[in-house]
Amino acid sequence: MSRSAGDLVLEAQGLDRSFGGIHAVDDVSLEVPEGSLHAIIGPNGSGKTTLFNLITGHTRPTSGRVRFAGEDITGMPYSKVARKGLAKSYQITTVFPLLTVFENVRIAAQAAGHAYVFWRPADGIRAVTRRTEEVLERIGLAADRDVVASNLSHGDQRRLDLAIALATSPRLLLLDEPTAGMSPPETAATVELVQELNRDVTILMIEHKMDVILTIADRITVLHQGRKLFEGTPDEVRDHPEVKEVYLTGSR
């Protein structure tokens, strides 16, 4: 398969999902080209996380289709979607709490080539160890490699969450509010990290902090009450009257 800038990694068409009476995601379409950094913004409860879950196969869409790298992945189970090269970090930190930082990342790193190996010790698989160390280095957790994950600070746990996603060597990285609950310096470091990661991997991220998103995103989708309110470049979003209104008043 030939890859070039402009090829679509992700293509969602008319995704729709209701929970009881709540129309959480209402006919949303999305196109993410290879190499881009695409952001999704919207007020609380506007359906951002649900949209992610529809893409990853957590939740089945009522209607609509998802194509990833040219393949239809609608309705595929989450683990299979992950194997195709789509990794996600979580809005609510999701790590392996009683395992060490190194072990957390290694679990993800070995998934690609050594998932179900039971006849040799994990410690002896050099390629996996190297990949794990590389990711820890890149995320800045190398010094904490032997710390049990639940003993990390909140900010470091957020980064470990991201490290696990990254270690699977995905083609598309979904980040659900990677800076949630972080202090300003931690946020700045994470933003820098995300930008750096974007050099090798396509990123689709949800973010609440407008200043963050307006500086780093190539393209922004604005969700409101489950619907796509607007999509455009950061400049277009900044100047859009409806978006301003939603963000200033919280509702229309």
Partner 1 sequence: MTDLRTPPASDGTPAGTGAAAVTIARTRGAGPARWTWGQLALLVVLAVVVMFTVPNPSLAIGMLVYGLWAAGLNLLVGYGGLVSFGHALPFAWGGYAAGLVLLHVSTSAWLAMLVAAGSMAVLSLLVGAVCLRRTEVYFSMLTLAFAQLGFFIALQWDSVTRGDDGLSGIPVPTLWLPGVTIELNALRDPLTFFLFTAVVVLVVFAAMVLYTESPMGRVLQAIRENEERARGCGYNTRLVQLATFVVAGTVAGLAGGLFAMLNNFVGLQPYWLLSGVVLIMVILGGRSSLFGPFLGAVVYLLLESSLSRSFASWQLIVGAIFVVCVLAFPQGLWGLVTQTLPSLVRRGRRTAR
Q: Is 48 a residue that touches ligand ATP (CB under 6 A)? A: yes
> CB under 5 to 8 A by kind: which of partner 1, Mg ion, ligand ATP, none does 42 bind?
ligand ATP
Question: According to the binding rule CB under 5 A, does residue 93 interact with Mg ion?
Answer: no
Give the interface with partner 1 as residue ranges (CB under 8 A).
49, 53, 56, 58-60, 77-80, 82-83, 87-88, 90-100, 103-104, 106-108, 110-112, 114-123, 125, 128, 148, 164-165, 168, 176
Q: Which two tokens stand for residue 169?
A: 């060597």
H helix intervals, the chain: 48-56, 78-83, 101-110, 126-139, 154-167, 184-197, 210-216, 234-239, 241-249
The partner in contact with residue 58, picked from ligand ATP, Mg ion, partner 1, none with C-beta cut-offs of 5 to 8 angstroms by kind, is: partner 1
Q: Is 89 in the site for ligand ATP (CB under 6 A)?
A: no
Enter the DSSP assignment of 84.
T
| Six-digit token string for 135 | 């990711």
| Number of Cα atoms under 13 Å in the Cβ half of residue 88 | 21
> Which CB atom, from 68 or from 90, has the smaller least distance to partner 1?
90
Select the residue interacting with Mg ion from 36, 46, 49, 157 (CB under 5 A): 49
- CB-nearer residue toward ligand ATP: 46 or 132: 46
Which of 18/195 has CB closer to ligand ATP? 18
Residue 19 phi, psi (nearest 5) = -120, 110
Distance CA 50, CA 58 (A): 9
Nearest CA to 138 among 107, 116, 160, 110? 160
Q: Any contact of residue 178 with ligand ATP (CB under 6 A)?
A: no
Dist CA 119 CA 249 (whole Å): 60
Counting residues that bind Mg ion (by CB under 5 A) gives 3
Binding segment toward ligand ATP, per CB under 6 A, in 44-52, 74-82, 94-102, 193-201: 44-52
Is 44 near ligand ATP (CB under 6 A)?
Answer: yes
Specify the residue, 106 or 228, whose C-beta has the smaller distance to partner 1: 106
Instruction: Supply the DSSP symbol for 142.
Output: G
The region of 1-9, 40-48, 66-74, 159-167 touching ligand ATP under the rule CB under 6 A is 40-48
Instruction: In angstroms, give the least distance from the CB of 84 to partner 1.
Output: 9
Which two tokens mark 179? 């800076």
Asked if 173 and 197 count as a contact pair (C-beta separation under 8 A), the reply is: yes
| Cα(86)–Cα(72) distance, integer angstroms | 13
User: What are 60's two structure tokens?
Assistant: 């089945």
Nearer to partner 1, 150 or 215 (CB): 150
Residue 85 lies near ligand ATP (rule: CB under 6 A): no
